[in-house]
Amino acid sequence: MTLYDSQLAEVSRVRQEIVTIGVRYCENWYSVPVDQGLESTDDLFVPDWTPTAGTTVTASYAAGPRPGSTNATKLAFAVAGTDHINPFAGSFNGQTANQAFTFTVFLRTDSGSGTVTLRLATGSGSVDKQVTVTTTWTRFQMHFKAGGADATITPSIRREAGDLAAVVAWGANLSKNPGAVDADVVFPYVTAPHGKALDPSVRVSKCTAADAGDGKRCYYSFPTCQDPAHFNSGNSFEQTLNGIREYKFCRSDAPLPLPGVEVWPLLESMDYSPQEIVPDQAFTRNERTNVVFLDMDAPVVWDPQKQAQGALINTASAGRFWRRFVPIFKNYANPDGYVMVKQGFVAAGYTEALYSLRRKLVAANIVLGADNRATLTCADRLHLLRSKVPAKLSDTNVLQADMTNSQTYMDVTNANEFTPAALNATGSSPDYVVTAMIDTEEVNITGLDPVVANRLIITRGRWGTTAATHAKATAISEVWECGTERSTPNLTPLGKNPITFLIEGMMRAGLAATEIDSAGLASERDTWLRSAVDPVAGTSSGVLFRRTITQQTDYETLFQEIREITLLFMWINEAQQVTGKLFAPARPTDVLYELTDGANFVKDSLSVDDQDQFRITQVLVAWSLKVGADGSKPEDFAYNRTRVAGDEESTGYYNQHRVKAILSQWLPVASGPIVDSTSQHYLDRFKHGARLVTATVEIKDDVVQLGAFVNVTTSTIATAAGAPDGPRIMQVVKKTPQPNGNIELKMLDTGIFKRYWFWAPSGTPAYDSQTPAQRRYASWATRVSAIRGIVGAQGDDAYYWW
């Protein structure tokens, strides 16, 4: 149990929230170019690096810390006190007298931990630093100031007494400290290829702006940058120096949250319009949050961290905080930045890491109010799905040279217009495939040539097409292929599980792999939407979709079409990952949190909406688009099927026809089974309306998460005889924190009354001895009192297949 959970369970506690705004920040030192003197810095390439005789170097041993890099080097040292590796560092020769240098390198072990020694040596002396290396990539640094007579500086990675015999290394830099500061002065890592030491392109600080003097310097933001070509966003894979500056705020009406941490109590209120799962529209309403801040005098020093390092800053203290923040960070809506909301309590032992991250949002707008307040409007990360796919290329973006039918690159007018090809974290396979079409051939783009501008690295004859020659000036377009390529790519592609390419699509839209609950989505897929594809044999089975997107469409629209046919709910969970559930019974492993009138629902807060307006009696599914049709009406499709709720349409019941039409361009011809199950599930779900319960709970019930299943028992939902009709399994579709600390839950009755079949774990006892939790797994029906289809001595309902 975390400290947050234990505080939540306390009877009385003091709530506090921390809002962190991350904005793009420059990692340069203003007006100070800083040289880097090593080469072959990624892979410690021999002979640019020189190992001793007893040092064994294994090149391309493993992935480096930078996503996509596969060129980390293993160093095995035979003899302690002797063996080491050092780079050629002669580029600084003659420039070292009375200068200070900082050496950095990323290190890790294969297993366990131990020490490694780093050394910086000049002609007259040296200094060692022993660092402790673990299995996690860590960037280590050390510095040394040369004497007046020193003419060289040489770093090395060594095995000294007590050190490890082997270590994995990547990414070494040696930089000259500005102002000869005798301290570690660390900049973001730069890659310097062979022959590029001291090249301006590999400087660790690149700002060449002339110093405009105090008060006229930049504020290390892009809008105030005086050398935009060299703005330094750092490296996303470094924990610090990642090009982000954070500002932290907390509630003004509560004690400061963290002892010894500067958190400004300017947060006056937060107005949440949280995510809402809207199942009948296969849609999740985006979150918008308005955060109201008090304004006050700006800090004494705007860039104190830079000042502490020794970099040039503006020292004038003037103006109000938010009035200055807006012009300095006019780009606050850059999606690389963020607004994080963390919730916790004021209690002994709290650190920021123990606060519970509840929202990671994108800043959208700031309003400076007349009442000396600033209102920051934020949207959730699903907002990114409003971008369009495939990338639109200019008419003038054409082939720049004739192409043979075998060359593995193509020169284009502007490579930046294509969707960036992405490798996953291990660098072994792409997170998503980027495909371009030239004439009738499709090619997959695997990367950008590091040397030749606007040259794309490609593989030929993909997605069932054949490699061909193409003439200079041929037009190019990008397409999004949703499917599975055959092992022989010029054979007709197969379909793909819709959840799999939803995940790929999200990454293509800009969400990081860490922002997607891939495991949770895969579990839903493998439980309710199973499929199999054999790209070698060309066989497939189960639920598979196939489509080629050629016209620009936003991801959200495409995803909505997929969610509609699969009944998939998607949202951002409280771990700040996009996750989802298919409409299906709660699994026995789902913990059903009990919510009751007595223990949970705040007095006078519960209401029940029957939502009869969303009731349907027929489901029409049309699929397999006819050639030349636009897909806007059922007759545009080759197949359609209608399922009717006959009883509900009858004169004595509702006496109405309400049709739900699903027109799907995603389903291949052989989609009868999913059409049958989808239409049946829609009718099960909506033929009597989808009841919504809205109620407020105390903060102790904060453990109930958006999207979770809960067991609701309330006297407001009663049987015809007046007894409470429950517990009923409901899904939380909206969770709204209230200004007073309570939480409003909106819960959708799943309408699933029957018990469904789940295989019970080995060792589950016979039905009559089972706990209620065990009875959520299936047991065989037996004959009791000569009646079929009931279970156990009590004659409980039997189990059904979903």
Partner 1 sequence: MALPIISWRNFGRNAGAVITSSSTAAGAAAANVKDLRSFTLWIAGSTTSPQSLDFDLGAGGDNADHLLMVNMNAVALGAQIKIYADTSFPPTAVAQGLYTPVSDAVDYKGFTAPGVKRYWRVEFQKGGGFSAAPYVGVCQLGLQTNMSEYVAPSVDPYMADIDAMSPKSIGGHFLGALLRGTKRRGTLSFGGDVGVVRSDFTEINLWLKNRARRREPWGLVLDSADSDFSAARWLKVPDDQDTPLMPVGGSYGRFLLSVPFEEAMMEAP
- Give the binding site for partner 1 (CB under 8 A): 10-15, 253-256, 259-265, 297, 299-301, 304-305, 307-309, 346, 596-606, 696-700, 714-715, 740-742
Angle between helices 498-508 and 518-528 (to 10 degrees): 160
Q: Residues 568, 570, 575, 576: is their CA dihedral positive or negative?
A: positive
When the beta carbons of 696 and 779 are compared against partner 1, the nearer one is: 696
Q: Which residue reads 């990454």 in tokens?
A: 507
Angle between helices 555-566 and 672-686 (to 10 degrees): 80
When the beta carbons of 714 and 731 are compared against partner 1, the nearer one is: 714
Minimum CB separation of residue 294 from partner 1 in Å reads 11
* List of residues 6+ apart from 423 with CB closer than 8 A: 67, 68, 429, 430, 431
Asked if omega into 390 is within 30° of 0 (cis), the reply is yes
Output b/e per residue, 160-171; b: 16+ Cβ within 10 A.
Answer: beebbeebbbbb
* List of residues 6+ apart from 369 with CB closer than 8 A: 375
When the beta carbons of 598 and 772 are compared against partner 1, the nearer one is: 598
Minimum CB separation of residue 276 from partner 1 in Å reads 24
When the beta carbons of 667 and 699 are compared against partner 1, the nearer one is: 699
When the beta carbons of 281 and 715 are compared against partner 1, the nearer one is: 715
When the beta carbons of 15 and 66 are compared against partner 1, the nearer one is: 15
* List of residues 6+ apart from 58 with CB closer than 8 A: 73, 74, 76
CA separation for the pair 712, 720 (Å, rounded): 18
* Phi, psi values for residue 759, rounded to 5°: -65, 130
CA separation for the pair 622, 671 (Å, rounded): 10
Please give the structure tokens belonging to residue 461: 């004859």
When the beta carbons of 321 and 559 are compared against partner 1, the nearer one is: 321
- ∠ CA 567-572-575 to the nearest 5 degrees? 130
When the beta carbons of 300 and 537 are compared against partner 1, the nearer one is: 300
Output b/e per residue, 224-242; b: 16+ Cβ within 10 A.
Answer: ebbbeebbbbbbebbeebb
Minimum CB separation of residue 100 from partner 1 in Å reads 18
When the beta carbons of 297 and 534 are compared against partner 1, the nearer one is: 297
When the beta carbons of 391 and 747 are compared against partner 1, the nearer one is: 747
* Phi, psi values for residue 526, rounded to 5°: -80, -15
* Phi, psi values for residue 181, rounded to 5°: -60, 130
When the beta carbons of 74 and 373 are compared against partner 1, the nearer one is: 373
Q: How many other CB atoms are there within 10 angstroms of residue 260's CB atom?
A: 5
Please give the structure tokens belonging to residue 272: 């949440």
Minimum CB separation of residue 693 from partner 1 in Å reads 13
Minimum CB separation of residue 307 from partner 1 in Å reads 7
Minimum CB separation of residue 144 from partner 1 in Å reads 21
Burial of 429: CB neighbours in 10 Å, binned 0-12, 13-18, 19+: exposed
What 3-state DSSP class applies to 185?
coil
